[in-house]
Structure 1
Amino acid sequence: MGLLFTTDDFPAGAEAKIGRIAVIGSGAWGTALAVVALSAGRSVRLWGRDQALVDDINTVHVNTRYMPDVPLPEGLIATTDIEEACVDADAVLIVTPSNTLREICAQIRPFLGANVPVALCCKGIERGTGLPLSQLCEEELPGHPIGALSGPTFARETALGHLTAATIAFPFSYQDRLHPEQSAAARLALAMGSEAFRPYISDDLIGVEIGGAVKNVIAIACGMMTGAGFAENTRAALITRGMDEMKRLAEELGGRRETITGLSGAGDLTLTCSSQTSRNMSLGVQLGQGIARADCFEGRNVVVEGEINAISVVELAAIVHVQMPICEAVHAILHQGAPIGATFAALWSLPIQAEPKSLGKISINHPAKQSAVNDLAQRMS
């Protein structure tokens, strides 16, 4: 039986339990979430490394590097002092690249109050350990509730106040189930919710995290095929089969398949695979057009999470014996020098399999395997 509660069940002032939020990371998504929290009536401190960027946010009220055309509210305060950002915060949102997360956790640890919830707004799996980012944070920030905020969200649209929905996931204890309004997920949802930003609550943290990590890799695959000249049929197939890879990995790690059909899975996957606003999709398109990786994004050093996630996702899938052929193809192209044409040709000519799990393991040789390989490799060369 599911949880049932309404706002009438919440004790008076429950939403004020999270009054101040620290947002760690002044990129586009961190800035957008700071705007969301401020719009919801919270006090916000936005931390960033770059003093010039922080000064711009505070004085001209624009994130000049990441969202130069989006005016920011004057009440948004940015700082390069991580202690100033974190002290007295009732909740922390971490919005830095996943490969810097251990470092960031170590920096904020001395300044967090007892039991302050920490929500991860970056996506990935730690390379080498195979740890979901929440478990990495549990190691670095013992005693703090660790969760995630994820969903189909482009930063610029969110910052501009376009209607946006996302999932906030934290593990639920027995007490949380008895009093769900007191859970970290519900309290943060109340603190972030506004007329434009609609949060949903989940207790399936691992499912939400796997969806967020894998969708970036699938988006690169969609971009590659789009850049190579293929159209909507191809992208729809990659999205659907990519979602199946997400389901298999999440389920193997204790997540729920239904989570992958929600905002943090299917929603985020569809958005990321459908627009070059996504850096993952954009990178794939450029590579599919034959642009060398060093020349993508006009030679700028742009961090693309899916490029990092491709390594850690494939490593984790191998550890738990889950087949993820699309992710493996992207990994081979990005990190092993495999040619795009031949790699996707081999993917498309894999043995015919059953789609529903109820049919079990079926594997029938593709009737046009060699001609499919030759044709696709030639078309993408």
Structure 2
Amino acid sequence: MSIAVLGAGAFGTALAITIARGGTPVTLWARDAKHAAQMQATRENARRLAGVSLPQNVTVTAEIASIEAGIALLAVPMQQIAAFLAEHGARLAGKPIVACCKGVDLQSGFGPTATIAAACPTATPAVLTGPSFAIDIARGLPTALTLACGNEAEAQRLQAALSTDTLRLYRTTDTTGAELGGALKNVIAIACGVTIGAGLGESARAAVMTRGFAEMQRLSQQLGARPETLAGLSGFGDLALTCTSEKSRNFSFGLALGRGESFDAGKTVEGAATARAVARLAREAGAEMPITSVVAAVLEQKLTIREAVDALLSRPLKEE
């Protein structure tokens, strides 16, 4: 079965590379025609994954109308999914569409699968998420991810089609838990970056990670997620990776905030929009999420870093 990867950023390109290495034909769609032509000619995504070659069974194109595939991997940023599907969703009718992004839509409050379902009612929505860096996947380093799809039979089919020798997929039907784990950990990663950037120390980062995980569990379970999903790859696993490595854009973004430095505006930081969307969700659900709330307030310039730290440290003492 052929596979289309829609989005030629680092993660989309890495997925195309690893799946193609197993012998499956892959079409990689890039929005920019010049970029697509360059990748097709040079067999490399020099902008995002320099030094990693595209297998010969990866075809790069900017012509989405020419793409025919049994499975579509949607590798565009969360905040762009709705607009992308409004423009191209009709071409994906009836297909499984696997979102390869993490976040909550700022306008609708939907996660990836609900956004897909609203735009493409006949499609089968799924999400691929978990602890991973694109460069590791592209280089063939061992990586395990969560594949979430509400249809168990389709989840099994997608798991078999997308797993490779180095990319191991674990399936679940809990799309809510998988999506919220991936989205919320980005917000906590920003907070951890701020903690280290502001010089508060490793012990403080451990506290933020731990209390952040409690927030993730609190809201997710209130919205119907299963506890074991948050304890798995798409929750705790992704949190551990993203909060401890400067390869993480969300952590690096927080690091720059904490240091008072600028950050590359060309890099997508999913957690920035997600923090604002989740803070609103938490208020509506009546869920207590102090770390998420102060991250959102800092991003909206309602609090300084110092005021955010003071707000968290002055909270009432309580049982864990």
Give the TM bin, normalised by the shorter chain: over 0.9
1:283 and 2:253 aligned? yes
User: Which position in structure 1 is the counterpart of 2:54?
Assistant: 72
Q: Distance in 2 between matches of 1:323 and 1:215?
A: 16
Q: How does 1:256-267 map to 2 (within 5 A)?
A: 256-267=226-237
Deviates more, 1:122-131 or 1:92-101: 122-131
Query: 1:303 Cα shift?
Result: 2.1
Q: Distance in 1 between matches of 2:41 and 2:315?
A: 57
* Contact 2:93–2:123 (CA under 8 A) maintained in structure 1: no
Structure 1: where are the runs of 5+ without partners?
1-18, 177-182, 356-381
Q: How does 1:86-101 map to 2 (within 5 A)?
A: 87=68, 89-101=69-81
Q: Distance in 2 between matches of 1:276 and 1:52?
A: 30
SS in 1 for 2:208: helix
SS in 2 for 1:22: strand
User: Which position in structure 2 is the counterpart of 1:3?
Assistant: none
Q: Distance in 1 between matches of 2:290 and 2:52?
A: 39
Deviates more, 1:255-264 or 1:101-110: 101-110
SS in 1 for 2:126: strand
Q: Distance in 1 between matches of 2:93 and 2:197?
A: 48
Query: 1:120 Cα shift?
Result: 0.8
User: Which position in structure 2 is the counterpart of 1:377?
Assistant: none
Query: 1:338 Cα shift?
Result: 1.0
Query: 1:113 Cα shift?
Result: 5.2
1:218 and 2:197 aligned? no
User: Which position in structure 2 is the counterpart of 1:155?
Assistant: 134
1:38 and 2:36 aligned? no
Deviates more, 1:92-101 or 1:104-113: 104-113
* Contact 1:58–1:74 (CA under 8 A) maintained in structure 2: no
Q: Deviations over 1:227-285 (max 9, x none)?
A: 11122211111111111111111111111111111000011111111111111111111
User: Which position in structure 1 is the counterpart of 2:307?
Assistant: 342
* Contact 2:4–2:73 (CA under 8 A) maintained in structure 1: yes
Query: 1:326 Cα shift?
Result: 0.6
Corresponding letter in the other structure for 2:26: V
* Contact 2:93–2:122 (CA under 8 A) maintained in structure 1: no
Instruction: Give the count of matched residue pairs.
Output: 320
TM-score by length of 2: 0.96
1:62 and 2:44 aligned? yes
Corresponding letter in the other structure for 1:56: Q
1:134 pairs with 113, 117, 121, which one? 113
* Contact 1:118–1:144 (CA under 8 A) maintained in structure 2: yes
Q: Distance in 2 between matches of 1:241 and 1:72?
A: 41
1:119 and 2:98 aligned? yes
* Contact 2:186–2:250 (CA under 8 A) maintained in structure 1: yes
User: Which runs of at least 4 in structure 1 moved beyond 6 Å after TM superposition?
Assistant: none
User: Which position in structure 1 is the counterpart of 2:65?
Assistant: 83
2:272 pairs with 285, 300, 307, which one? 307
Q: Deviations over 1:277-329 (max 9, x none)?
A: 111111111111122xxx323xx432211111111111111111111111111
Deviates more, 1:307-316 or 1:122-131: 122-131
Q: Distance in 1 between matches of 2:202 and 2:157?
A: 40
Q: Distance in 1 between matches of 2:164 and 2:225?
A: 29
Q: Distance in 1 between matches of 2:180 and 2:86?
A: 24
Q: How does 1:327-338 map to 2 (within 5 A)?
A: 327-338=292-303
SS in 1 for 2:52: strand
User: Which position in structure 2 is the counterpart of 1:321?
Assistant: 286
Q: Deviations over 1:10-32 (max 9, x none)?
A: xxxxxxxxx11111110000001
Query: 1:215 Cα shift?
Result: 0.8
SS in 2 for 1:23: strand
* Contact 2:92–2:120 (CA under 8 A) maintained in structure 1: no
1:107 pairs with 68, 79, 87, which one? 87
1:164 and 2:143 aligned? yes
Q: Distance in 2 between matches of 1:208 and 1:336?
A: 30
Tell me which structure has the larger Cα radius of gyration. Answer: 1
Structure 2: where are the runs of 5+ without partners?
none
Q: Distance in 2 between matches of 1:241 and 1:166?
A: 24
SS in 2 for 1:139: helix
TM-score by length of 1: 0.81
User: Which position in structure 2 is the counterpart of 1:180?
Assistant: none
Corresponding letter in the other structure for 1:98: M
* Contact 1:82–1:107 (CA under 8 A) maintained in structure 2: no
* Contact 1:40–1:193 (CA under 8 A) maintained in structure 2: no
Q: Deviations over 1:127-168 (max 9, x none)?
A: 132222211211100011111000100000110000000010
RMSD of Structure 2 on Structure 1 (CA) = 1.3
SS in 2 for 1:62: coil
* Contact 1:40–1:191 (CA under 8 A) maintained in structure 2: no
1:296 and 2:263 aligned? yes
* Contact 2:33–2:62 (CA under 8 A) maintained in structure 1: yes
